Structure 1
């Protein structure tokens, strides 16, 4: 097979793995399922259509998995109206992210069993419910029961199967076709338990709600006076350390440490990565707030991403020139890759966290009027 075709197939797969997750905020369920399917079949595509070595891709594959998971979490900021479900999903996401970070540092596979990826399937459950119901019908008890069910009956067996026992399901069935009956039986049990969780919900509404709704709250509206928001409240500008800044530093630092472990030719320590990322986030946050204080409003999230990318790339290039004068060096390509992912996550976080803050304020005002 020509090398050109092999490279085209490889680049097409990688580009799709970058692009498809960007649709999750707008079309959560189909985009998540598409991302999961592509993650499952990408290695098979490489084996069938290319002769390229896959050893190096395994490291990028891990990074792309975390990238997809982060976009999925950020979409909950944008879309989820059930605030308890959002808080529970946030815990599940960071619990998994911390586990993956510890695994990449220690290479102890048991950590992936202790910190299972319950968040991913919990997200799918919520978005499946949103297709036919208002997610606010999900009570705290039902959400906790669902998370426990996914954790115990879905993710623990899956994490053990993949990471501890290291069994390939396809090969396992090929070795003994009767094992397919076990897989079908287990799937039937899970479907029954899912039905049991949904059996007492109100009647379904007509049609399917595939696209997630999103509202831009007016900065000069009545609600703006009751919201503590980095971008609209003058009072909040006086507080340099705030919840949003801390979460952004935690989120992007953990992501960057994971990328530093799995990507080749990263010469910085985990501490250096965390410090460098934190400085960039602080600069980005203060720049955005400085612009907002002067009445600047982004016309679109794409415009904000482009402007902040130019700023961050400029900082990195300036640092690259300065450190070279003192006989130091950085991996410029790897650093720019970090900066691209950092800027994307920070931009989405700033945009969607703002929506979550305003939605919480609106819910609190509505509850107070009852």
Structure 2
């Protein structure tokens, strides 16, 4: 099989699979996690050697974790868990960018990817129980346990000791049997010790996302909420700039046609994010919105393509710092993350406001 076919098939899978997290959070993020774990093995099997694999891998991780974070805004009903999710996600984003800028691997240990397993833990609870049964302290303890007992050892294994699971299984005869015994022991503890002490489940297994709140399940309602509560430059806009800007900087380090500095790329992306926010608020205040996510994406994509090429013509006269394929990629990235953020951030804010009113 052609190595380019294998490479692009894996890349396409790593771009498409994350979108299923929005509707099927637990199975989809586990599938993304598994694909992340085996893609290097697939490349080795077919003699594919991606340039700068470490940066490529971090960039693909950042994309699917960004979609997972946006899924938490869409789906999570517990505002305390959302706050912890937000901190863990952006903490890791900062660490990933610092790693790209410096190349210091220990930074990935200082900024571990706790968000990913916290997302899995929350969705594992939600699969059988109402997350609102558990308070903020419970979710803090869950995050701390994942950080200390799971992610620190894992990040040490991968980024400090530079060990690969497949290679270790192949080179160390006793490792695979020991790993199987450890997993069986963990399963036994969960089944025989933890499970009997759990409270009765609230419902049968739920793997699909819960419906949106009735008051926010239509585009017109989300648009009205944005028009009433958001501004062009507010905390939501800042969060969106950081989310998309840091993700773009990481991809700017991977894409071969990017000839600009990290700061210029971040500022350029920030400009277009703010412009998108202004357009979004203008359309929200006039009641323009579509329930179809695909149609919303296409409309915003066309607008952004026009804006980018007009800016390129006026400011650089066609001699920009990005190649055409890379420019189109960043348009796709900004459009995707902007559309999803603007679509689901109002849902999260509505839930948080409703929960605060209920407590008071």
TM-score over 0.5 (shorter chain): yes
Asked whether 1:342 is paired with 2:334, we answer yes
Task: Kindly provide the CA deviation profile for residues 261-308 of structure 1, in whole angstroms up to 9, marking residues without a partner as x.
Answer: 232231111211111011101111111111111121223222221111
TM superposition shift of 1:230: 7.2
Of 255, 275, 292 in structure 1, the residue corresponding to residue 267 of structure 2 is 275
> CA 1:140–1:187 in 2, change beyond 3 Å: closer, same or farther?
farther
Does residue 23 of structure 2 align to residue 43 of structure 1? no
Q: Contact (CA 8 Å) 2:75, 2:212: kept in 1 or not?
A: no
Q: Of 29, 32, 37, which residue of structure 1 is paired with 2:29?
A: 32
What TM-score do the two structures reach when normalised by structure 2?
0.90
Alignment of 1:341-360 (within 5 A): 341-360=333-352
CA distance in 2, matches of 1:167, 1:58: 13
Secondary structure at 2:62 match in 1: helix
Matches within 5 A, 1:34-183: 34-48=31-45, 50-55=46-51, 59-183=55-179
Distance 1:45 1:326, change over 3 A: closer
User: Contact 2:32–2:64 at 8 Å: present in 1 too?
Assistant: yes
Q: Separation in 2 of the partners of 1:140 and 1:235?
A: 28
Q: Aligned with 1:267: secondary structure?
A: coil
Task: Mark the CA change 1:192 to 1:123 in structure 2 (over 3 Å): closer, same or farther.
Answer: farther
Deviations 1:339-363 (A, max 9, x none): 2111111111111101111112222
| Cα distance per residue 1:156-205 (max 9 Å; x no partner) | 01101100110122322333322234434544565577677766442024
Specify whether residues 102 and 59 from structure 1 end up closer, same or farther in structure 2 by C-alpha distance, changes over 3 A only: closer
CA RMSD of aligned residues (A): 2.6
CA spacing shift, 1:57–1:156, aligned 2, 3 Å: closer
1:290 aligns with one of 259, 275, 282: 282
Change (3 A) 1:193 1:99: farther
Residues 295/69 of structure 1: CA separation in 2 closer, same or farther (3 Å cut): same
1:230-287 CA distances to partner (integer Å, 9 max, x unpaired)? Answer: 74365546x4421111110111111111111232231111211111011101111111
Q: Residues of 2 paired with 1:25 and 1:270: CA distance?
A: 30
Q: How does 1:202-221 map to 2 (within 5 A)?
A: 202-215=199-212, 217-218=214-215
- CA deviations on 1:89-110 (whole Å, 9 max, x unpaired) are 1111111111111111011111
Give ranges in structure 2 of 5+ residues lacking alignment: none
CA distance in 2, matches of 1:243, 1:114: 26
Indicate if the aligned counterparts of 1:230 and 1:236 stay in contact, CA closer than 8 A.
no
Tell me if the contact between 2:18 and 2:29 (Cα under 8 Å) persists in the aligned partners: yes
Which structure 1 segments of 5+ residues have no match? none
